[in-house]
């Protein structure tokens, strides 16, 4: 009999509302046959968070709050993330009794049963992830998009090859690190977390948390179905019918088809970048309504909505992103 699905997320006070919606979504999709246990790794050890954990507990779901100090507080960061994101690289130490764990950024929500993801075979590799299709494929359409490193502006595909040292881009070797199935034993054996943190501390990377991990994994990861990390800002329904063949085992490499999949059938939704539904000034995404559905089921629902509406009024933002289906 298959057992508990272990999940971890790392966040601070700024990302509490995102984590609250994530918790509600995990609770909804947990079931008795495969209980879910979420490890909330955070320097924000508050009664508010513990109340959310207590209120969310069911026979098939629990939140384990793990208060930790953040040794990376002074590390380089970029807009839209904090140094708390680097705590994922300590998960092998923080969770010493586990052999694998699903890691989720706190700006994600679950829209499907996690069993197929957790049961993915990661033997002999450090992790499973979804290739970063937005940067590998979508960036071809972003004429002005550049990654600057040591004073030089790179087309992103060139940045992956020349700065991160990752070749053979046709094999989709660059992942998005917001959703990972981590082989903790492999990370411990390789000391992967220490290598990643050391590199990101010494280099001013475009996406420090993600780029450094990609450098050391160097394409050696299991490619997951694109729907396990649906990028909400890029989701878009296309006019023509999505062929059934694109839903099979074969790797989808059609950017329009991937965007359609993310819109029509997202399994994990990732509100990446400056696209947080709970922040009024951030642009809306086509999948914001799903986030608000889960936020409405959180113990913090009233506070999330009132703070959002107060921010909208204060900034004189005319259009609300609060939606319900």
Q: Are 184 and 126 in contact (CB under 8 A)?
A: no
Q: Is residue 164 part of a domain?
A: no
Assess whether pLDDT exceeds 80 at residue 218: yes
| 286-308 average pLDDT score | 97
Q: Which domain holds residue 216?
A: 5-130+173-314
Q: Is residue 247 part of a domain?
A: yes
Buried (b) or exposed (e) across 112-144, using 16+ Cβ within 10 A?
Answer: bbbeebbeeebeeebbbbbbbbbbbbbbeeeee
Q: Is residue 33 part of a domain?
A: yes
Cβ-proximal residues to 63 (8 Å cutoff; 6+ apart), any chain: 23, 38, 40, 52, 53, 56, 57
CATH number of the domain that residue 87 is part of: 3.90.550.10
pTM higher than 0.85 = yes
* CA–CA gap between residue 110 and residue 89 (Å, rounded): 22
Helices (H), 39-190: 47-56, 91-94, 115-118, 133-136, 156-162, 184-190
Q: Is residue 160 part of a domain?
A: no
pLDDT for residue 141: 75
Q: List pLDDT tens digits, range 171-209.
A: 999 999 999 999 999 999 999 999 999 998 899 999 999
- Mean pLDDT for the chain overall: 91
The number of residues in the chain equals: 325
* Count of the separate structural domains present in the chain: 1
Q: List pLDDT tens digits, range 11-45.
A: 999 999 999 999 999 999 999 999 999 999 999 99
Q: List pLDDT tens digits, range 91-121.
A: 999 999 999 999 999 999 999 999 999 999 9
pLDDT for residue 232: 98
Q: Is residue 152 part of a domain?
A: no
Q: Which residue has the tokens 């900034």?
A: 315
Q: Is residue 140 part of a domain?
A: no
Q: For residue 42, what are the CA distances in angstroms to 31, 86, 165, 300, 312?
A: 26, 11, 32, 18, 28
DSSP 65: E
């Amino acid at each position: 009999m298959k057992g508990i699905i272990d999940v971890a997320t790392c966040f601070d006070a700024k990302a509490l509302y995102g984590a609250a919606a994530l918790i509600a979504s995990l609770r909804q999709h947990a079931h008795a046959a495969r209980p879910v246990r979420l490890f909330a790794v955070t320097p924000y050890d508050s009664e508010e968070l513990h109340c959310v954990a207590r209120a969310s507990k069911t026979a098939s779901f629990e939140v384990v709050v793990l208060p930790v100090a953040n040794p990376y507080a002074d590390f380089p960061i970029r807009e839209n993330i904090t140094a708390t994101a680097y705590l994922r690289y300590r998960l092998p130490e923080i969770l010493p009794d586990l052999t694998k764990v699903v890691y989720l950024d706190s700006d994600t929500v679950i829209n499907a049963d996690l069993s197929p993801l957790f049961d993915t075979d990661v033997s002999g590799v450090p992790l499973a992830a979804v290739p970063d299709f937005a940067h590998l494929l979508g960036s071809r359409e972003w004429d002005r998009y550049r990654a600057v490193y040591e004073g030089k502006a790179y087309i992103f595909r060139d940045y992956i090859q020349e700065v991160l040292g990752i070749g053979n881009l046709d094999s989709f070797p660059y992942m998005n690190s917001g959703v990972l199935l981590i082989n903790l034993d492999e990370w411990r054996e390789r000391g992967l977390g220490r290598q990643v943190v050391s590199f990101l501390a010494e280099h001013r990377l475009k996406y420090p948390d993600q780029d450094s991990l990609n450098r050391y994994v160097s394409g050696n990861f299991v490619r997951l179905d694109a729907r396990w990390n649906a990028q909400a800002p890029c989701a878009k329904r296309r006019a023509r019918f999505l062929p059934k063949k694109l839903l099979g085992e074969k790797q989808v490499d059609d950017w329009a088809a991937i965007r359609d999949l993310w819109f029509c059938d997202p399994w994990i939704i990732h509100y990446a970048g400056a696209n947080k539904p709970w922040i009024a000034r951030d642009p809306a995404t086509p999948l914001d309504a799903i986030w608000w559905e889960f936020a409405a089921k959180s113990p913090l629902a009233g506070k999330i909505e009132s703070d959002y509406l107060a921010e909208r009024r204060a900034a004189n933002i005319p259009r609300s992103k609060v939606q319900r289906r």
